Structure 1
């Protein structure tokens, strides 16, 4: 072929079969972008983890009676030397803010609370660390309000020269991590497109194929966010990962189609045979991913359920793009056979080696999976509210100061109805409060008993001491309920729920009534997060079983189900154990990515299995069919995994620690999944062996490619 002929062979094609899909998808992307710009909401509130039931209803009643329990933050000062005279000006500026309802000098609050453990809310035991309570005009489940409130208060502190003061407490943590999450997505989403496009170009050796991969990823992501805007599904703590993972998932399917089309570059239309070979596997792969994600609905936690079911539009979009936009782009760019020349033999050599030693490979995989499973059962699934921020973040450090030297970073409410009954005297309230204060993890107790003892008033009348202090209200607005407010450390979700149980038991015992309940937004949120860990193993086990059964039925052979079961269980267990060893525990917010990683990991298993089954139908034996499947799909499996791991690695740059853990879990899972696909799957497809093993060097021999 002449040089001019080569140029013509690579010139972009035109025609109705190319132009129409490109124009239609361009219009669809514009409409999706418009929908997203007007209707996409962001909701990082803790309500998404509450679930339903009586506890949620009780919290709503308590909020109406006492006010929200997440509207109080603290300005933490490390000493007040030389600044006492400026506190009054600071308080006046804070109260003038539209977001602030009340602010009280620490010295005034400490004087009112003298003689009680509640004094720790505003002053450390040695008197060196002080905290100014600042009550906001509303709760901070509205994170946009939390961000504005934190920014306004920090601006006042800077203007008044209190640069070393720091904000702490639930509102401060929420406002800071929401701000960080928005900033992360603004830089990580474009970076994810750049990364997956670069790897697509690197894999094919042509920059235009990388650019086309970016177009495919962008179309899928725009359909996803446009659908979320239309149905009212907000961006939350978990599904923000869609913006970096979904582009990589779309490009992985694109590379499979590019490789298949490139193998038919000499055909008049290489796309048609490529679609016949790849689309069945694409449908099956996205179906298994959908099953894995849908299994998260078993958790009963709204945020986890919407993370699982919310990805379905993106999975459907991948199939639609693969069937329409991707073929148009391939016809436009015209494959030249360059990918076939770049197919690396190492993928095939490794699989051939595993097929020749099928029994040993499978036995080793089972042993590793069993050992990892035994250790995984001992890895705790837990997190803390302050883990939402980096260890060096000023808000996190100030919140840790609350825990170690002041009244704690979290709070619980012990609510008692009908507190005016004769049996509820000062001694009973004091007994309950002292018993609670003595518990490990409790930093301060604000209750009517201690106030009554200090003021010589009745418990009901003593609550008036708190008027104007900005501290939590102890008596309901109607007077029908009373409560004890308990300041605690943040020991993690499971320990916090256990502590709440001990507090409730002590209150019931001392107050001699069963009409006592422990409530609070932190308690409800932690109960929901704990359910994630409790249900995760069941969800993943069910998803693994469904994937194995579906693949076995689709292929008509049990061995394909066995290959899927072993090759996809192994990476999940290894990744879980690896993160447990590195972190000491697995964050439940990050652990849900295992369902997504399972679906993605099954993708290459499906493509290899479908290709091997096709070779068997053409008359190849088990060993030869595995070699040909690896030769045709191994390149795509390797590079798609590289692209996917790179997509997860982008999340590793986030400032949001759970998102970094999610990236670590996902990246390890997919890297191990590739190794399993290139070893365990070939071994499972030829075992038990009934014919000769693939001879050495067979990976280099030619065979029917289609």
Structure 2
């Protein structure tokens, strides 16, 4: 009897009190949860790029705090009396919103008058404008370099109002409150009669994406739990059995969620899946516990004896799977991205919390009156038969299945080499929502909603008004214009083109604060970039940086900067961190299993059935034309955790049945009879749960659901067909290489390094 089994048998009261105490502490942690939808925190690393972003924000303002109002005329052009009046009304309403620093529009742009006076390009609507006046204003605006293409579309039907928020908008709560006030300002019948108004920009896109993401995660987690409960009732036919099966994984997810709050880790697109991971691992372990208790109760054991025996037999296997999963996630602690490091640590702790919940609460509930009905149900009629039939087929045809499995895995690995990492903003937005539509309109009419900056610095010997500064800025413009994804560069060179030389010389530096910082000897070139994907951006930005290096005179520096640049680079780094940790996790799992079962062969054998679902999943991504996204990477972790869980339980059961005189095939068949039902049931429950996410309107989430359901099915088939065949095949190959009948004079016994004997000795 193991120590854990003795503790459970003799001190169940302490288990109950401990579970209650941990649950209460977890509830306190949940009350401290905070939503972290700040893109900076998700991509933050120790790189200098963020310092440059902060520097630009201090000197020139940041597009990260810029809400974009996309205004479209109800008629063919904005230059009608009603549309101009509505735009002025809109401008006034926006300027009155709290925490709005300023609003920049085509009304803010000045032109050089006939006597050298700066006049507005589009005048105020304080007088009646006839058709000729409006046509003249339209012509002037369409030809002004600070308006055309930047604030006014080519067909003069769309215009932008750039709403700069205060620094308090760094706080997501403040940003959401400002956005609500802006939407309120847009809600006016006088505005809607002449204009169609859409809101976009990084603050709006970030808020919309985070709200949609967390709403769908909550909804589909609840739906998945409901489906799991319904499926459990269908198989168990007793609500008492449903409570025993479903409560522990839910409590484990609650404990994992409480950990987030207790550790002060914000809930972002990565950490939001920690409760789901805990639920997945806990569901698999709970099903194995229930099936073991069910078999013992059917054999006549009372519920306490059956539960105590399950703790000793299944609890060890569950502990090993949780340890392996936790070590794999803990490898993310060495990633460059802060959010990835936090995700790895809380995921590892979440896996351990799930194990603690399942290994204590499941036997506690099963040992009560609730466990009296566990012997009932219909699971053996289909789950056990399905598992044993697949296993028998696998064992009978192991000479064919193993080579086919190896070739299929290698083939999928080769196909996966063509998998590319990419991420688009629109994939995080619900289809057809105003934010998604506005983003498309921005790409079509103004070259994108995302900002791109180029920072130009010169030595102390050069004045800001030196012609060399303008010449260098113009060269930067030409470099950016070589890329169709980048449009409308804007800088001091653009502004100077609208003024005469004498007027330019009369300007004071504080009048050019948006373009140049004379004291810091810095000028900025700002442009827009379409949502073309992080992969294309990363390639494009690398080419631009090489070109900019050749433009810089001696003593000058020209740097590509902005959150768009940082995002493209760090999203790639984020995926590299997750991918590399997944590779490390696979081999760490092999090492841990080799040590746990005292056989290097077990570690090697376990790699193939655990790698096949991952390779197949990558091949599916390539075949369907999908790219590797952060959400997709997490599917691989879920898939690997499920595969390892089933692998350890099958090997542990095989260890129990392997005795002298019992062949490898017989031991594997008995192990499949014991664990196969849990593998099939767990796979069906998780597949149904993940399949519900397909209904999400967020492309990244619906893709996650499709891949996760596919991953669960692939892992289940791999454990029921590939692993049994490999075990029998490896034992046979090992015997034939070490011993022969001519050497022993009798039927050869399994060699000392045989995985079967190693499992038996463990």
TM-score normalised by the chain length of structure 2: 0.82
Are the counterparts in 2 of residues 43 and 234 from structure 1 also a CA contact under 8 Å? yes
1:444 and 2:472 correspond: no
Look up the match of 1:609.
651
How many angstroms apart in 2 are the aligned matches of 1:94 and 1:537?
45
More divergent stretch after superposition (349-358 vs 136-145): 136-145
- Find 2:262's aligned residue among 216, 230, 240: 230
Look up the match of 1:12.
none
- Find 1:679's aligned residue among 721, 726, 751: 721
Which secondary structure does the structure 1 equivalent of 2:497 belong to?
helix
| Deviation of the 1:445 alpha carbon | 0.5
How many angstroms apart in 2 are the aligned matches of 1:385 and 1:460?
40
Are the counterparts in 2 of residues 417 and 481 from structure 1 also a CA contact under 8 Å? yes
How many angstroms apart in 1 are the aligned matches of 2:697 and 2:20?
33
| Deviation of the 1:315 alpha carbon | 1.5
- Aligned positions, number: 674
> 1:125 and 1:360, CA in 2 relative to 1: closer, same or farther beyond 3 A?
same
Look up the match of 1:500.
541
1:211 and 2:249 correspond: no
Are the counterparts in 2 of residues 587 and 661 from structure 1 also a CA contact under 8 Å? no
TM-score normalised by the chain length of structure 1: 0.89
More divergent stretch after superposition (217-226 vs 20-29): 20-29
Q: Deviations over 1:121-145 (max 9, x none)?
A: 2111222222222212237553333
Q: Structure 1 stretches of 5 or more lacking a match?
A: 1-14, 693-706
> 1:117 and 1:292, CA in 2 relative to 1: closer, same or farther beyond 3 A?
farther
Q: Deviations over 1:3-41 (max 9, x none)?
A: xxxxxxxxxxxx99666544542343233212321x212
Are the counterparts in 1 of residues 282 and 355 from structure 2 also a CA contact under 8 Å? no
Are the counterparts in 2 of residues 559 and 685 from structure 1 also a CA contact under 8 Å? no
More divergent stretch after superposition (411-420 vs 453-462): 453-462
- Find 2:550's aligned residue among 503, 506, 509: 509
Q: Deviations over 1:602-661 (max 9, x none)?
A: 100110111112211465220000000000000001111222223333443444332332
Which secondary structure does the structure 2 equivalent of 1:101 belong to?
strand
> 1:389 and 1:326, CA in 2 relative to 1: closer, same or farther beyond 3 A?
same
How many angstroms apart in 2 are the aligned matches of 1:463 and 1:665?
59
Are the counterparts in 2 of residues 529 and 589 from structure 1 also a CA contact under 8 Å? no
| Deviation of the 1:527 alpha carbon | 1.1
Look up the match of 1:154.
183
Are the counterparts in 1 of residues 37 and 207 from structure 2 also a CA contact under 8 Å? no
How many angstroms apart in 2 are the aligned matches of 1:576 and 1:381?
11
- Find 1:287's aligned residue among 300, 311, 323: 323
How many angstroms apart in 2 are the aligned matches of 1:185 and 1:99?
31
More divergent stretch after superposition (18-27 vs 281-290): 18-27
Which secondary structure does the structure 2 equivalent of 1:131 belong to?
strand
Q: Structure 2 stretches of 5 or more lacking a match?
A: 1-8, 111-120, 123-140, 737-746, 748-762
**Aligned counterparts, 1:134-149, within 5 A:** 134-138=163-167, 141-149=170-178
Which secondary structure does the structure 1 equivalent of 2:525 belong to?
strand
How many angstroms apart in 2 are the aligned matches of 1:227 and 1:458?
65
More divergent stretch after superposition (534-543 vs 64-73): 534-543
Are the counterparts in 1 of residues 26 and 255 from structure 2 also a CA contact under 8 Å? yes
1:173 and 2:240 correspond: no
How many angstroms apart in 2 are the aligned matches of 1:16 and 1:28?
20
Are the counterparts in 2 of residues 408 and 489 from structure 1 also a CA contact under 8 Å? yes
1:351 and 2:380 correspond: no
How many angstroms apart in 2 are the aligned matches of 1:462 and 1:610?
84
How many angstroms apart in 2 are the aligned matches of 1:182 and 1:34?
20
Look up the match of 2:115.
none
Look up the match of 1:66.
60
| Deviation of the 1:679 alpha carbon | 0.6
> 1:89 and 1:667, CA in 2 relative to 1: closer, same or farther beyond 3 A?
same
| Deviation of the 1:516 alpha carbon | 1.5
Q: Deviations over 1:190-221 (max 9, x none)?
A: 32332222233334333222223332123212
More divergent stretch after superposition (112-121 vs 524-533): 112-121
**Aligned counterparts, 1:106-505, within 5 A:** 106-109=106-109, 111=121, 114-116=143-145, 119-138=148-167, 141-163=170-192, 164-265=196-297, 266-268=300-302, 269-332=305-368, 333-335=370-372, 336-338=374-376, 341-342=380-381, 344-418=384-458, 420-421=462-463, 422=466, 424-457=468-501, 473-476=514-517, 478-505=519-546
| Deviation of the 1:251 alpha carbon | 2.1
How many angstroms apart in 1 are the aligned matches of 2:621 and 2:83?
46
Look up the match of 2:688.
646
How many angstroms apart in 2 are the aligned matches of 1:672 and 1:134?
49
- Find 1:42's aligned residue among 35, 49, 57: 35
Structure showing greater relative contact order (alpha-carbon pairs closer than 8 Å, 6 or more residues apart): 1
| Deviation of the 1:423 alpha carbon | 6.5
In our comparison, the structure showing a higher alpha carbon Rg is: 2
| Deviation of the 1:479 alpha carbon | 4.4
Are the counterparts in 1 of residues 654 and 671 from structure 2 also a CA contact under 8 Å? yes
How many angstroms apart in 1 are the aligned matches of 2:366 and 2:542?
61
Which secondary structure does the structure 1 equivalent of 2:149 belong to?
helix
How many angstroms apart in 1 are the aligned matches of 2:523 and 2:679?
63
